[in-house]
Protein backbone atom coordinates (compact mmCIF):
# COMPACT_ATOMS: atom_id res chain seq x y z
CA UNK A 1 0.00 0.00 0.00
CA UNK A 2 1.48 3.32 -1.11
CA UNK A 3 0.07 6.80 -0.41
CA UNK A 4 -2.74 5.06 1.44
CA UNK A 5 -3.80 3.62 -1.93
CA UNK A 6 -3.83 -0.11 -2.67
CA UNK A 7 -3.34 -0.98 -6.35
CA UNK A 8 -4.68 -4.30 -7.62
CA UNK A 9 -5.72 -6.18 -10.76
CA UNK A 10 -3.46 -4.48 -13.34
CA UNK A 11 -4.45 -5.44 -16.89
CA UNK A 12 -2.64 -4.29 -20.03
CA UNK A 13 -4.98 -2.63 -22.53
CA UNK A 14 -4.22 -1.04 -25.90
CA UNK A 15 -4.02 2.45 -24.36
CA UNK A 16 -2.15 1.55 -21.17
CA UNK A 17 -2.62 -0.40 -17.94
CA UNK A 18 -6.02 -0.56 -16.28
CA UNK A 19 -6.09 -1.16 -12.52
CA UNK A 20 -8.20 -0.83 -9.40
CA UNK A 21 -7.18 1.65 -6.72
CA UNK A 22 -8.67 1.31 -3.23
CA UNK A 23 -8.42 3.67 -0.27
CA UNK A 24 -10.58 3.73 2.84
CA UNK A 25 -12.97 1.22 1.28
CA UNK A 26 -13.50 3.29 -1.86
CA UNK A 27 -12.65 1.45 -5.09
CA UNK A 28 -12.10 3.10 -8.43
CA UNK A 29 -10.95 1.74 -11.79
CA UNK A 30 -8.15 3.71 -13.47
CA UNK A 31 -6.19 3.54 -16.70
CA UNK A 32 -2.54 4.60 -16.52
CA UNK A 33 -2.23 5.89 -20.08
CA UNK A 34 0.56 4.42 -22.23
CA UNK A 35 1.94 7.88 -23.07
CA UNK A 36 2.02 8.82 -19.39
CA UNK A 37 3.94 5.64 -18.57
CA UNK A 38 6.37 6.28 -21.43
CA UNK A 39 6.97 9.84 -20.20
CA UNK A 40 7.50 8.61 -16.64
CA UNK A 41 9.86 5.81 -17.69
CA UNK A 42 11.62 7.66 -20.55
CA UNK A 43 10.92 4.58 -22.70
CA UNK A 44 8.77 3.38 -25.56
CA UNK A 45 7.12 0.04 -24.87
CA UNK A 46 7.06 -2.50 -27.68
CA UNK A 47 5.31 -5.28 -25.74
CA UNK A 48 2.56 -5.69 -23.18
CA UNK A 49 5.12 -7.26 -20.81
CA UNK A 50 7.36 -4.17 -21.03
CA UNK A 51 4.38 -1.91 -20.32
CA UNK A 52 3.40 -3.97 -17.27
CA UNK A 53 6.99 -3.95 -15.96
CA UNK A 54 7.06 -0.14 -16.20
CA UNK A 55 3.72 0.01 -14.38
CA UNK A 56 5.18 -2.17 -11.60
CA UNK A 57 8.35 -0.02 -11.38
CA UNK A 58 6.33 3.16 -10.96
CA UNK A 59 3.49 1.91 -8.75
CA UNK A 60 4.34 4.37 -5.97
CA UNK A 61 4.00 7.37 -8.27
CA UNK A 62 0.88 5.95 -9.93
CA UNK A 63 -0.69 5.37 -6.48
CA UNK A 64 0.03 8.99 -5.56
CA UNK A 65 -1.67 10.30 -8.73
CA UNK A 66 -4.61 7.90 -8.30
CA UNK A 67 -4.93 9.07 -4.69
CA UNK A 68 -5.20 12.69 -5.82
CA UNK A 69 -7.94 11.69 -8.27
CA UNK A 70 -9.77 9.81 -5.50
CA UNK A 71 -9.52 12.91 -3.28
CA UNK A 72 -11.23 14.92 -6.02
CA UNK A 73 -14.05 12.38 -6.30
CA UNK A 74 -13.06 11.35 -9.82
CA UNK A 75 -14.81 8.57 -11.63
CA UNK A 76 -17.92 7.63 -9.73
CA UNK A 77 -18.12 4.30 -11.51
CA UNK A 78 -16.44 5.33 -14.78
CA UNK A 79 -12.82 4.35 -15.50
CA UNK A 80 -10.61 7.39 -14.90
CA UNK A 81 -7.82 7.89 -17.44
CA UNK A 82 -4.59 9.16 -15.89
CA UNK A 83 -2.94 10.93 -18.84
CA UNK A 84 -0.07 12.47 -16.89
CA UNK A 85 1.76 10.46 -14.24
CA UNK A 86 4.42 13.02 -13.44
What integer pLDDT is reported at residue 36 of this predicted model? Answer: 94
Per residue in 2-44, pLDDT (tens digit) is 468 999 999 999 999 999 999 988 899 999 999 999 999 999 9
What confidence tier does 65 reach under pLDDT thresholds 50, 70, 90? very high
Average pLDDT for 41-54: 93
Q: Which of 64, 62, 57 is nearest to 43 (CA)?
A: 57
- The DSSP line for 20-79 is EEEETTEEEEEEEEHHHHHHHHT----SHHHHHHHHHHTHHHHHHHHHHHHHTT--TTSP
Domain count for the chain: 1
Q: Identify the domain containing residue 18 by its residue range.
A: 6-82
Q: Is residue 1 part of a domain?
A: no
Q: Is residue 22 part of a domain?
A: yes
Average pLDDT for 73-80: 82
Q: Is residue 12 part of a domain?
A: yes
- The CATH code of the domain that includes 39 is 3.30.160.140
Amino acid sequence: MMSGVNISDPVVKQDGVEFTATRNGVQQRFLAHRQGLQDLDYSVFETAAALLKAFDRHQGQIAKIAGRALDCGAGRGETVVLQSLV
